[in-house]
Amino acid sequence: MDIFSLNGKVALVTGGSYGIGFAIASALAEAGARVVFNDLNQVLVDNGLAAYSKADIKVNGYVCDVTDEAAVQAMVTQIEEEVGVIDILVNNAGMIKRIPMTEMSAEDFRKVVDVDLNAPFIMAKTVIPSMVKKGGGKIINICSMMSELGRETVSAYAAAKGGLKMLTKNIASEFGHLNIQCNGLGPGYIETPQTAPLREPGHPFNNFILAKTPANRWGRTDDLKGPAVFLASPASDFVNGHILYVDGGILAYIGKQP
């Protein structure tokens, strides 16, 4: 099972201080990687450092706005100097604004696209040159159910995540011959603090998700650990441009008959 080992690898998880990013970073560390993460401000980074310390995981944390190309370049340079060349990039940082399309300002639309699509582009273009020099690397873009499906009030998020799916495929196409694999990981509806109010028994949205999910439950952050390690490891060296949906079967299911 050495093909799943990440020993000696450096992994950067953006927005990795909590939630899905924290779970993925923890899994990569458990598989042997040296993990670094960033977040938007020092409070989030400090909270993340405390959480990793509690889990007995050694990490480095950096404050960086991933939509700022100069800041990203400075962070990557600092990571290379302090930890090493990044072998694994997980583009996890993201945001969503739930606003009906006709009520959403163009500024808000651009902001969501900037964080969810432009930032992964900036991160990838910054780490790829060192990956090429080192002989290869792994990029994992955190996609979404909205990379495939539409839904009310998430026009910007769906547009960005759909674009991220195609950016994933294009990075694979452009750099696959240089031993860089770029794949997407698409979580279904996951239990996080943000979704806690929606998961209350009897809540209409909770009932809706359970009815649409063949697994008949919400996903857990632990459900993403194995798929993330697979996409980060030599086990996936011939997997490129693929989006691995960890969704309990939602995309395979038309739904129950009324």
DSSP code per residue over 115-178: IIIIHHHHHHHHHHHHHHHHT-EEEEEE--GGGT---TT-HHHHHHHHHHHHHHHHHHHHHGGG
Does residue 258 have a pLDDT over 80? Answer: no
Q: Residue 257 pLDDT > 90, yes or no?
A: no
What is the model's pLDDT at position 256? Answer: 83
3-state secondary structure of 12: strand
The answer to whether residue 18 scores a pLDDT higher than 80 is: yes
- Give, to the nearest 10 degrees, the angle between helix 155-175 and helix 119-134: 20
Share of the chain above pLDDT 90, in %: 96
Q: What is the pLDDT of residue 122?
A: 98
Among the residues of the chain, which ranges form H helices?
Answer: 19-30, 42-54, 69-82, 106-113, 119-134, 155-175, 204-212, 225-232
**Segment 8-27 mean pLDDT:** 97
- Residue 26 above 80 pLDDT? yes
pLDDT at 140: 99
Active site residue: 62, 157, 189, 245, which one? 157
* 253 included as an active-site residue: no
Q: Which residues contact 205 (CB under 8 A, 6 or more apart)?
A: 198
pLDDT digits (tens, 9 = 90+) for 62-83: 999 999 999 999 999 999 999 9
| pLDDT given at position 236 | 98
Considering the chain, what is the average pLDDT of its residues? 97
Please state the rounded mean pLDDT for residues 220-228.
Answer: 97
Q: What is the mean pLDDT of residues 156-170?
A: 98
pTM score, two decimals?
0.97
> 258 versus 171: which is more confidently predicted?
171
Q: In the predicted model, is pLDDT for residue 1 greater than 90?
A: no
Helix (H) or strand (E) holding 184: strand 180-187
Buried b (16+ CB within 10 A) or exposed e, 139-161: bbbbbbbbbbeeeeebbbbbbbb
Confidence band for 194, pLDDT divided at 50, 70 and 90: confident
Dump pLDDT digits (tens) for 94-103. Answer: 999 999 999 9
| pLDDT higher than threshold 90 for residue 230 | yes
* pLDDT at site 107: 98
